[in-house]
Amino acid sequence: MDRKTAVIILAGGKGTRMHSKKNKLLHKILGRELIRFPVEAAENVEAEKIILVVGPHNQKEIKSLLRDRVDYVLQKEALGTAHAVWQAEPLLEGFTGETFVIVGDSPYISGEILKKLLNFHRENKAALTLISSVFENPPAYGRIIKDEKGFVKKVVEEIDASEEEKKIKEVNSSYYCFTWEKIAPLLHKIDINQKKGEYYLTDIVEIAYNAGLKTLALKIDDPLLTKGINSRADLSEAAKYFSMKNINALEETGVTFFGKETITVEFNVRIGKDTVIHPCTYLGENTEIGKNCEIGPFVYLKNAKIPSGTKLSYAKIEGGHEYEG
């Protein structure tokens, strides 16, 4: 019998480092709200249940955006990541299978990564698998501590790490896969961290390891894929990454880009073969460009339709209009 999967997305943080009146998870990357990335990753693995843990400060806006795509639970107090997972437990009563726990502020998570994590977890018959990555100069993420056999003994948050532990370059990503019926009974053994006054989900690793369960790390080659969004600079970095990814995909279909570093391509942009995109061009979402066009320089398009054979420069078209020449 096939085992089921569920996904818990932690989305209750306030994102104060963004210095914005808007909740962090509603900031957009190339026209797509940040919270939509992990939700779409969860949908891609066809999870039986997607549970979004929200806070009092963002529940209304997030529900308005996502509607019935997910189940919602409220974390009334911001008491840490483990506390957030506790709020989701009632919706997983009696559930057996693999449960992912991921964060709501990572646009780089994808269905492909989750499937890779799930396959690794099942093939190795692990009880807990986390995704890790190696940074030459690690950010303020939890350090991975392993035993002599390569099993993960614990994750030490930087605030609690010794100077020697801070030298460890392999860090935690905050993406987990749990064999739920094995890990769920251990979750409430997590104690409050006295320095932060919060319950850290990372503590479940040491608890599971000490209980004799198999705890593993799946190392991801590109450390960028494990980063979250905590600042405006992080938003800019993510936009650049996904724009280039979109450009590269369009090149594979027969589109030419000159001066790619000056061009931005949002999601859901369609371009016909043999069209050339010149420097200083911004192609917003829901834009459709026909074949054999010359677009740019200095063109902004959003929700626009450009017929085949069009030559367009120094122009701005948006709002569902079709260019008529």
Range of the domain at 42: 4-226
pLDDT value of residue 189: 97
Instruction: Give 301's contacts (C-beta < 8 A, 6+ positions apart).
Output: 281, 282, 283, 284, 287, 289, 295, 316, 317, 318
Within a domain: 256: yes
13 confidence band (pLDDT: 50, 70, 90): confident
36-44 helix and 111-123 helix, angle to the nearest 10 degrees: 50
pLDDT value of residue 174: 87
pLDDT value of residue 160: 87
Q: Which of these three, 226, 247, 266, is where a domain ends?
A: 226
Q: Are residues 117 and 245 in the same domain?
A: no
C-alpha closest to that of 230 among 7, 20, 9:
20
Q: Are residues 219 and 239 in the same domain?
A: no
Within a domain: 323: no
Q: How many CB atoms lie within 10 A of CB 150?
A: 8
Q: Are residues 66 and 88 in the same domain?
A: yes
- Could you give the CA distance from residue 296 to residue 277 in angstroms, rounded to a whole number? 6
Q: If you average pLDDT over every residue of the chain, what do you get? A: 94
Within a domain: 71: yes
Summarised one tens digit per residue, pLDDT across range 76-130 is 998 999 999 999 999 999 999 999 999 999 999 999 999 999 999 999 999 999 9
Least confident among 222-236, 249-263, 298-312: 222-236
Q: Are residues 287 and 212 in the same domain?
A: no
Q: Are residues 59 and 92 in the same domain?
A: yes
137 confidence band (pLDDT: 50, 70, 90): confident
Within a domain: 324: no
Within a domain: 67: yes
**pLDDT > 90? residue 184:** yes
- Residue 310's domain is classified under what CATH number? 2.160.10.10
pTM of the model: 0.93
Going by their DSSP bridges, the two strands 281-283 and 299-302 should be labelled as parallel
Torsion angles phi and psi, residue 124, rounded to 5: -95, 5
Element (H, E) at 114: helix 111-123
Q: Are residues 244 and 177 in the same domain?
A: no
Would you give the DSSP letter of residue 136?
A: S
* Locus of tokens 């690690």: 138
Q: Are residues 205 and 246 in the same domain?
A: no
Q: Are residues 176 and 256 in the same domain?
A: no
- For residue 100, what are the β-bridge partners? 7, 177
224 confidence band (pLDDT: 50, 70, 90): confident
Summarised one tens digit per residue, pLDDT across range 146-171 is 999 999 999 998 888 889 999 999 99
Q: Are residues 257 and 187 in the same domain?
A: no
Within a domain: 76: yes
pLDDT value of residue 155: 95
Q: Compute the Cα dihedral for 147, 149, 155, 159 and give only its sign.
A: positive
Q: Which of these three, 199, 226, 253, is where a domain ends?
A: 226
Q: Are residues 87 and 72 in the same domain?
A: yes
Least confident among 35-39, 140-144, 215-219, 303-307: 140-144
Q: Which of these three, 183, 208, 226, is where a domain ends?
A: 226
pLDDT value of residue 321: 62
**pLDDT > 90? residue 20:** no
Percent of the chain with pLDDT over 70: 98
Within a domain: 124: yes
**pLDDT > 80? residue 5:** yes
Within a domain: 325: no
Sheet holding 276-277, edge to edge: 256-257, 276-277, 294-295, 311-312
CA angle 25, 28, 30 (to 5 degrees): 145
Q: Are residues 149 and 214 in the same domain?
A: yes
Q: Are residues 209 and 284 in the same domain?
A: no
pLDDT value of residue 96: 94
pLDDT value of residue 73: 97
- Residue 87's domain is classified under what CATH number? 3.90.550.10
- Please state the domain count of the chain: 2
Summarised one tens digit per residue, pLDDT across range 245-291 is 999 999 999 999 999 999 999 999 999 999 999 999 999 999 999 99
Torsion angles phi and psi, residue 228, rounded to 5: -105, 175
